[in-house]
């Protein structure tokens, strides 16, 4: 009886409220970033804000559908969902529509669907299924390879469609694997790789090579139990190869516009005129978005009042650069609000994940948090110029039906799984 | 630990974002305003610059419109350069050069592309301007001088320098700013405040409409008209008298401190520094190192005061009770103070009291008075400090505080000054005796002398000299209406003024009388040295004169300084008399004297040091 009367309280309302706030506030900003002229016709479906309103309406239906499906369904059918999703990615090579150089869309009627947005949820289900399998042990090298293949398939398919931004997101599964027992050595190696890359570009390959060699030798000789000399030499060789390899990769393999993104990010260029030039020519969006954000001040210029937003200075502002509209029109108050909402949402999901009784739910929840976190970090970091420009949407916020639906499915499957946890009491 | 890794990273990223946002949006807020926002086009509306009138209401400076072609490099689209160049009357090479310079200054801020078009060029260009994206015409107003006099007083306006633009946010590239004279001193009053319209652009640089319906737009505020204290007739007359001579005349109204005339010779026509020809003419004037027409000699020419300084030596001696008006000295053609050579005197010799001493300019009398002043206290340094402070109360030895931006302090030595000069020598009055006749270490400027003369005319006080008489809708600075009291008791001025009056009766200026006006004055001569080929060479003396009139109700006090003019009465004295008559009567009856002055050219004198040939002086 108790369960029946409190049926709707089983869902985690905190998460749902944050979700609603993000979607609602996001839409207001899309409206501001995309409306033209004096009048606003909310149901003008030729305009992004009108379309987004329709997407949101359809999202409600989607949520009802997800929540009414039995929890067990997601676990049982996860493999099939994953395979179908991968096939939809493969299908792009045959029937995909090219937009802005990326072949990531299916055109159905007047609408376009981007299967990569749904692939994240499918991959998360597959990873959860795999890791929760009693036979799987992530400490085992063979299983590590298998887990890696699960995320590599969508990542490679998406990369082949020229959508580098969405590919990067699959790196977020590292956190999931690590949580589930991936050996620490991987964490150490990843950090080392990042250090060597940045250092090699910033301070030069030779200096980096020397410094790391000295560090490794120091480690070798200070350890009471001496590591084998071969191991040490191998580590040194790896570091040297990496530091020179990265430099070579940067200088000879990356295309000039990619070089400039990294150069600007790591402040490799010293000539201020050249920097300004790079910002203007290559990173026009970033330059304008940073200016738009800083022009907002403490409380912003007001809703629909942003000069750069209404002047359409920031291209793609209603999609990947939507955060700059928040910055300009709502100021520091608005941007902090959004950042805090995201942090709360992520922490809430992590917290709920840790409470899960089933490993499947926990791994899935962890995947959701990791994926959302990557989007949040890369998108806002990019819009503020903290990291190189990688075009990915801000979850629930950016314009686009596929994106909104993809993230909604991702999140609400977890909400459904989580509601089941309460059921088990 | 494994559970917390992502937790911690999320929190760190969140905090980093908020920190970065705080930096961008709050801390760094200063960096953003409407002016920085290249989404908003700024259109300036320059107000009328205030007119300048003379003390009698005569218009001296008004305005004329001018049109600058401006460029915003970032917004420039490919254009028919040949046609554009021919409209602007420049060649392709110049076009590229100016464009590069503008781009270097700022790709997004406007720069002047071609300044001050002629009316015809403007008419031809205006029609076609639309075709050249990134270029526009900015209307400004240039000065239109209604007179050819007073260039040093009126000053000029020119484009603000990058330094000024950086230091005062009011100014933009191409804005005009006062550079000298009253244009500089009263820049803020004269310029007004320019108006601005903010126009919202889209990213294709098209105007969408007024930004926020124009709520931030401002209307220009007209500049204020000013009236300066110069009497343009007197100024003009002074400049005429000084033609073919170098030097300065400063005339002050004693009971107000208003500067009636500030003549610097040689001068130039202020119209030379207007418009497109400005910089070429400026360079020419600047490079004229013989005549130095840009140097205001009335304000900047430091020189030994010569004999007029005796009057102040006497006043200090009276105040310090070192002498009384009845003190007499018997002059036998020199003053023997125990030095290697007695100080000579050309007064004719005989018994001198104060009045006669001034009238005859007797060196012996003032050497005695000075020596007694210094010997008043056991320590010469102490005495010299007291003496110096008295002198400084007349405005010597420091900037006077007048409202023109240039000046020199001059020099009024005190005890410490000589302690430094003679570190291991017990100096005393006789060491520094030449100060008594204005030929020691004392240095003054013509305006300091004129001001001190006004203080004598006022019997003990002066108003800080100033060029401003009236500002439209605003009172003038209080310091110009506040008396500065000297340290000399008013009673001491009577015998001194009598002496100055007798200069014209039985003294050194007996032949310079102005009919119907009681003039008080004092002649002066200052030795003049220069360096030729590394050798110190003496040139013809400078001619100096101070005067005020009428004696009982002084209306004008002045100092005249004629470089290489020989003795004081010769040119400076004549010019003083003519100026006084001109100012007080409005016309000059001393026709013969006037003609003599007008005809006199000292250019030969000035050429001597440059001739490379031997020359004689003081003839
Ligand atoms: Zn004598």
pLDDT higher than threshold 60 for residue A423: no
Task: Among B4, B17, B34, pick the best mutation site for testing chain A contact (most A Cβ within 10 A).
Answer: B17
Q: What are phi and psi of B264, to 5 degrees?
A: -125, 125
The predicted pLDDT at position A422 comes to 61
Asked if the Cβ–Cβ distance from B3 to A354 is below 8 Å, we say: yes
What is the least distance, in Å, from the CA of A181 to any CA of chain B? 8
The predicted pLDDT at position B182 comes to 94
Cβ contact B119:B152 at 8 Å: no
For the segment A14-40, the average pLDDT, to the nearest whole number, is: 83
CA of B365 to the centre of ligand 1 (A): 7
* CB-based neighbours (< 5 A) of ligand 1, an ion: B 331, 345, 347, 362, 364
What is the least distance, in Å, from the CA of A327 to any CA of chain B? 8
Give the pairing type, strands B52-53 and B226-228. Answer: parallel
Q: Do domains B40-228 and B239-284+296-605 have the same CATH topology?
A: no
Greater confidence, B300 or B339? B300
Selecting from B6, B17, B25 the residue whose C-beta is nearest the C-beta of A369 gives B6
| Distance separating alpha carbons of residues B16 and B43, to the nearest angstrom | 39
Greater confidence, B133 or A124? A124
Greater confidence, B347 or A371? A371
Selecting from A296, A308, A343 the residue whose C-beta is nearest the C-beta of B39 gives A308
- A286-300, A367-381, B138-152, B264-278, range with the lowest pLDDT: A286-300
Q: Which of A134-138, A380-384, B209-213, B559-563 has the highest mean pLDDT?
A: B559-563
The predicted pLDDT at position B482 comes to 92
pLDDT higher than threshold 50 for residue B79: yes
pLDDT higher than threshold 50 for residue A269: yes
pLDDT digits over B273-302, tens only? 887 788 888 889 988 888 889 889 999 998
Given pLDDT bands bounded at 50, 70 and 90, which one contains residue A10? confident
Residue B49's nearest CA partner among B163, B150, B165, B184 is B184
What is the least distance, in Å, from the CA of B91 to any CA of chain A? 28
- How many residue contacts between A and B have a Cβ separation below 8 Å? 109
pLDDT digits over A142-156, tens only? 888 999 999 999 999
Given pLDDT bands bounded at 50, 70 and 90, which one contains residue B490? very high
Closest Cα in chain A to B24? A294
The predicted pLDDT at position A212 comes to 85
Closest Cα in chain B to A178? B2
Given pLDDT bands bounded at 50, 70 and 90, which one contains residue B598? very high
Give the pairing type, strands B176-178 and B135-145. Answer: unpaired
| Three-class DSSP labels, B465-481 | CECEEEECCECCCHHHC
Closest Cα in chain B to A335? B21
The predicted pLDDT at position B552 comes to 92
Residue B429's nearest CA partner among B356, B322, B525, B523 is B322
Given pLDDT bands bounded at 50, 70 and 90, which one contains residue A2? very low
Tell me what the pLDDT averaged over chain A comes to: 82
For the segment A22-38, the average pLDDT, to the nearest whole number, is: 81
pLDDT digits over A168-193, tens only? 899 999 999 988 888 888 888 888 88
pLDDT higher than threshold 50 for residue A1: no
| Number of other residues whose CB lies within 10 A of the CB of residue A385 | 19
The predicted pLDDT at position A5 comes to 41
For the segment B167-196, the average pLDDT, to the nearest whole number, is: 87
Closest Cα in chain A to B39? A308
| Distance separating alpha carbons of residues B371 and B364, to the nearest angstrom | 10
What is the least distance, in Å, from the CA of A184 to any CA of chain B? 9
- A351-365, B238-252, B330-344, range with the lowest pLDDT: B330-344
Asked if the Cβ–Cβ distance from B14 to A340 is below 8 Å, we say: yes
- B18-22, B171-175, B573-577, range with the lowest pLDDT: B171-175
Tokens standing for A55?
Answer: 């997407």
Tell me what the pLDDT averaged over chain B comes to: 87
pLDDT higher than threshold 50 for residue A102: yes
Residue A392's nearest CA partner among A153, A114, A147, A44 is A114
Task: Please tell me the total number of residues recorded for chain B in this structure.
Answer: 619
Give the pairing type, strands B135-145 and B59-71. Answer: antiparallel
For the segment B394-398, the average pLDDT, to the nearest whole number, is: 93
The predicted pLDDT at position B243 comes to 93
Asked if the Cβ–Cβ distance from B203 to A370 is below 8 Å, we say: no
Asked if the Cβ–Cβ distance from A298 to B31 is below 8 Å, we say: no
Residue A250 per-residue DSSP state? I
For residue B203, which residues of chain A lie inside 8 Å, CB to CB?
288, 311-313, 315
Cβ contact B550:B446 at 8 Å: no
Asked if the Cβ–Cβ distance from A332 to B26 is below 8 Å, we say: yes
Asked if the Cβ–Cβ distance from B13 to A377 is below 8 Å, we say: yes
CA of B364 to the centre of ligand 1 (A): 5
DSSP A78-99: HHHHHHHHHHHHHHHHHH-EEE
Closest Cα in chain A to B2? A179
CB hemisphere CA count around B461 (13 angstroms): 9
Given pLDDT bands bounded at 50, 70 and 90, which one contains residue B30? very low
What is the least distance, in Å, from the CA of B198 to any CA of chain A? 11
Given pLDDT bands bounded at 50, 70 and 90, which one contains residue B31? very low
ipTM of the complex: 0.88
Order of strands, edge to edge, in the sheet holding A111-113?
A97-99, A102-108, A111-113
| Three-class DSSP labels, B565-614 | CCCCHHHHHHHHHHHHHHHHHCCCCCHHHHHHHHHCCCHHHHHHHHHCCC
| Distance separating alpha carbons of residues B488 and B394, to the nearest angstrom | 9
Instruction: Determine which helix (DSSP H) or strand (DSSP E) holds B228, and give its type and residue range.
Output: strand B226-228
pLDDT higher than threshold 70 for residue A61: yes
Asked if the Cβ–Cβ distance from A347 to B11 is below 8 Å, we say: yes
pLDDT higher than threshold 50 for residue A4: no
Asked if the Cβ–Cβ distance from B28 to A373 is below 8 Å, we say: no
The predicted pLDDT at position B336 comes to 74
Given pLDDT bands bounded at 50, 70 and 90, which one contains residue B583? very high
Cβ contact B203:B225 at 8 Å: no
How far apart, in Å, are the Cα atoms of A374 and each of A165, A369, A379, B9, B263? 11, 9, 8, 11, 78
- For chain A, what are the domain ranges? 7-179+279-424, 189-272
Residue B46 per-residue DSSP state? P
For the segment A184-203, the average pLDDT, to the nearest whole number, is: 84
For the segment A293-301, the average pLDDT, to the nearest whole number, is: 74
CA of A160 to the centre of ligand 1 (A): 110
The predicted pLDDT at position A40 comes to 66
Cβ contact B309:B453 at 8 Å: no
For the segment A347-369, the average pLDDT, to the nearest whole number, is: 92
pLDDT higher than threshold 70 for residue B137: yes
Residue A368's nearest CA partner among B4, B16, B8, B6 is B6
Tokens standing for B232?
Answer: 């343009």
The residue to which tokens 């909604």 are assigned: A408
Given pLDDT bands bounded at 50, 70 and 90, which one contains residue B599? very high
- For chain B, what are the domain ranges? 40-228, 239-284+296-605
Cβ contact B141:B48 at 8 Å: yes
For residue B208, which residues of chain A lie inside 8 Å, CB to CB?
310-311
- % pLDDT > 70, chain A: 82
Which residues are CB-contacts of B597 (< 8 A; sequence separation ≥ 6)?
B241, B571, B574, B575, B578
Fold classification of B239-284+296-605 is Beta-lactamase (3.40.710)
Closest Cα in chain B to A180? B2
| Distance separating alpha carbons of residues B166 and B70, to the nearest angstrom | 19
Greater confidence, B566 or A25? A25
- A271-285, B83-97, B525-539, B584-598, range with the lowest pLDDT: A271-285
CA of A280 to the centre of ligand 1 (A): 83
Number of H helices, E strands in chain A: 19, 3
Residue B547's nearest CA partner among B526, B571, B519 is B519
- % pLDDT > 70, chain B: 96
The residue to which tokens 């100012």 are assigned: B583
- A268-277, A292-301, B52-61, B261-270, range with the lowest pLDDT: A268-277
SS3 content of chain A, % helix, strand, coil (to 5): 75, 5, 25
Instruction: Determine which helix (DSSP H) or strand (DSSP E) holds B202, and give its type and residue range.
Output: none
CA of B329 to the centre of ligand 1 (A): 9
Task: Among B25, B33, B212, pick the best mutation site for testing chain A contact (most A Cβ within 10 A).
Answer: B25
Tokens standing for B265?
Answer: 């010779």
Which residues are CB-contacts of B543 (< 8 A; sequence separation ≥ 6)?
B247, B524, B525, B560, B561, B562, B564, B565, B566, B567, B568, B570, B571, B572, B573
Selecting from B6, B26, B200 the residue whose C-beta is nearest the C-beta of A311 gives B200
A87 burial (CB, 10 Å; 0-12 / 13-18 / 19+) is exposed
Cβ contact B555:B509 at 8 Å: no
For the segment A204-221, the average pLDDT, to the nearest whole number, is: 84
DSSP A7-39: GGGGS-HHHHHHHHHHHHHHHHHHHHHH--SS-
Asked if the Cβ–Cβ distance from B201 to A343 is below 8 Å, we say: no
CATH 1.10.3710.10 fits B40-228, yes or no: no
| Distance separating alpha carbons of residues B435 and B367, to the nearest angstrom | 8
- A114-128, A401-415, B126-140, B436-450, range with the lowest pLDDT: B126-140
* Bond before B266 cis per omega within 30 degrees: yes
Predicted TM-score (pTM) of the model is 0.60
Cβ contact B20:A386 at 8 Å: yes
Which residues are CB-contacts of B369 (< 8 A; sequence separation ≥ 6)?
B313, B314, B317, B322, B323, B327, B436
CA of B204 to the centre of ligand 1 (A): 87
CA of B357 to the centre of ligand 1 (A): 7
């Amino acid at each position: 009886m108790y369960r029946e009367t409190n049926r709707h309280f089983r869902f985690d309302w905190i998460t749902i409220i944050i979700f609603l706030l993000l979607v609602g506030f996001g839409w207001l900003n899309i409206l501001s970033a995309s409306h033209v002229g004096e009048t606003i016709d909310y149901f003008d479906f030729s305009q992004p804000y009108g379309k987004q309103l329709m997407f949101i309406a359809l999202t409600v239906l989607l949520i009802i559908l997800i929540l009414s499906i039995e929890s067990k369904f997601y676990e049982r059918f996860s493999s099939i969902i994953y395979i179908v999703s991968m096939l939809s990615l493969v299908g792009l090579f045959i029937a995909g529509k090219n937009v802005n150089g990326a072949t990531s869309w299916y055109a159905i009627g007047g609408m376009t669907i981007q299967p990569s947005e749904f692939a994240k949820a499918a991959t998360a289900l597959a990873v959860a299924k795999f890791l929760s399998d009693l036979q799987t042990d992530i400490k085992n090298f063979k299983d590590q390879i298998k887990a890696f293949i699960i995320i590599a398939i969508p990542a490679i398919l998406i990369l082949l469609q020229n959508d580098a931004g969405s590919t990067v997101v699959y790196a977020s599964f590292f956190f999931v694997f690590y949580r589930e027992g991936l050996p620490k050595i991987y964490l150490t190696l990843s950090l080392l790789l990042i250090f060597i890359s940045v250092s090699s570009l910033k301070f030069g390959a030779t200096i980096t090579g020397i410094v790391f060699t000295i560090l490794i030798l120091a480690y070798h000789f200070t350890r009471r139990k001496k590591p084998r000399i071969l191991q040490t030499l191998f580590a040194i060789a790896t570091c040297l190869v990496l530091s020179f390899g990265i430099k070579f990769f940067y200088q000879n393999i990356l295309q000039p516009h990619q070089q400039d993104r990294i150069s600007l990010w790591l402040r490799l260029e010293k000539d201020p005129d050249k920097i300004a030039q790079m910002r203007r020519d290559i990173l026009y969006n970033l330059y304008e978005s940073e200016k738009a954000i800083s022009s907002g001040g403490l409380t912003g210029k007001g809703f629909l009042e942003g000069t750069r937003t209404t002047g359409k200075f920031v291209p793609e502002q209603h999609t990947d650069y939507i955060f700059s509209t928040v910055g300009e029109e709502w100021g520091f108050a608005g941007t902090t609000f959004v950042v805090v909402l995201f942090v709360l949402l992520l922490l809430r999901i992590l917290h709920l994940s840790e409470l899960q009784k089933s490993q499947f739910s926990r791994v899935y929840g962890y995947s959701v948090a990791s994926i959302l976190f990557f989007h949040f970090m890369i998108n806002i970091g990019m819009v503020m110029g903290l990291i190189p420009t990688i075009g990915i949407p801000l979850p629930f916020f950016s314009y686009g039906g596929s994106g909104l639906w993809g993230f909604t499915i991702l999140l609400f499957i977890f909400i459904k799984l989580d509601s089941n946890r309460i059921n088990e009491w | 630990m494994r559970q917390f890794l992502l937790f911690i990273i999320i929190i760190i990223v969140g905090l980093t974002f908020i920190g970065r946002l705080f930096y961008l949006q709050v801390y760094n807020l200063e960096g953003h305003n409407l002016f920085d926002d290249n989404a908003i086009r700024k259109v300036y509306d320059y107000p009328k610059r205030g007119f300048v009138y003379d003390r009698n209401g005569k218009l001296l400076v008004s305005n004329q419109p001018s049109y600058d072609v401006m460029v915003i490099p970032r917004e420039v689209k490919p254009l028919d350069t040949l046609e554009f160049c021919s409209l602007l009357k420049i060649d392709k090479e110049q076009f590229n050069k100016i464009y590069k310079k503008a781009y270097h200054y700022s790709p997004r801020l406007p720069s002047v592309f071609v300044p001050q078009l002629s009316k015809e060029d403007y008419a031809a260009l205006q029609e076609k301007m639309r075709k050249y994206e990134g270029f526009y015409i900015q209307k400004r107003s240039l000065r239109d001088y209604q007179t050819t006099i007073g260039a040093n007083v009126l000053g000029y306006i020119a484009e603000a320098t990058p330094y000024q633009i950086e230091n005062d946010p009011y100014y933009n590239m191409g804005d005009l700013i006062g550079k000298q004279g009253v244009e500089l001193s009263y820049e803020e009053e004269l310029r007004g405040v320019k108006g601005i319209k903010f126009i919202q652009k889209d990213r294709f640089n098209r105007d969408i409409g007024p930004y926020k319906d124009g709520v931030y737009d401002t209307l220009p505020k007209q500049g204020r008209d000013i009236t300066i204290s110069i009497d343009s007739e007197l100024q003009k007359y002074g400049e005429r008298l000084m033609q073919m001579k170098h030097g300065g005349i400063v005339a002050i109204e004693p009971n107000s401190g208003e500067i009636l005339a500030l003549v610097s010779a040689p001068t130039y026509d202020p119209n030379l520094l207007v418009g497109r020809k400005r910089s070429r003419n400026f360079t020419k004037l600047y490079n004229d190192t013989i005549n130095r027409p840009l140097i205001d000699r009335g304000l900047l020419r430091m020189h030994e005061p010569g004999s007029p300084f005796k009057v102040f030596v006497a006043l200090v001696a009276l105040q310090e009770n070192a002498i009384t008006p009845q003190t007499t000295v018997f002059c036998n053609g020199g003053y023997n103070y125990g030095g290697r050579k007695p100080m000579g005197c050309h007064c004719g010799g005989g018994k001198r009291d104060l009045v006669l001493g001034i009238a005859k300019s007797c060196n012996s009398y003032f050497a005695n008075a000075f020596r007694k002043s210094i010997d008043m206290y056991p320590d010469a340094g102490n005495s010299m400090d007291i003496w110096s402070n008295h002198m400084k109360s007349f405005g010597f030895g420091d900037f006077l505080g007048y409202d023109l931006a240039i000046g020199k302090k001059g020099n009024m030595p005190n005890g410490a000054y000589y302690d430094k000069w003679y570190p291991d020598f017990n100096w005393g009055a006789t060491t520094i005796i030449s100060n008594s006749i204005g030929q020691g270490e004392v240095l003054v400027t013509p305006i300091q002398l004129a001001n001190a003369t006004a203080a004598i005319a006022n019997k003990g006080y002066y108003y800080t000299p100033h060029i401003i008489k009236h500002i439209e809708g605003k009172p003038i600075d209080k310091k110009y209406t506040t008396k500065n009291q000297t340290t000399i008791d008013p009673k001491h001025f009577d015998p001194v003024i009598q002496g100055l009056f007798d200069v014209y009766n039985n003294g050194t200026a007996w032949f310079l009388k102005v009919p119907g006006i009681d003039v008080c004055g004092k002649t002066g001569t200052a030795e003049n040295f220069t360096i030729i080929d590394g050798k110190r060479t003496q040139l013809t003396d400078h001619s100096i004169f101070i005067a005020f009139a009428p004696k009982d109700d002084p209306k004008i006090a002045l100092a005249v300084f004629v470089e290489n003019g020989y003795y004081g009465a010769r040119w400076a004295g004549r010019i003083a008399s003519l100026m006084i008559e001109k100012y007080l009567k409005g016309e000059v009856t001393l026709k013969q004297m006037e003609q003599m002055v007008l005809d006199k050219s000292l250019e030969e004198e000035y050429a001597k040091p440059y001739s490379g040939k031997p020359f004689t002086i003081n003839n």
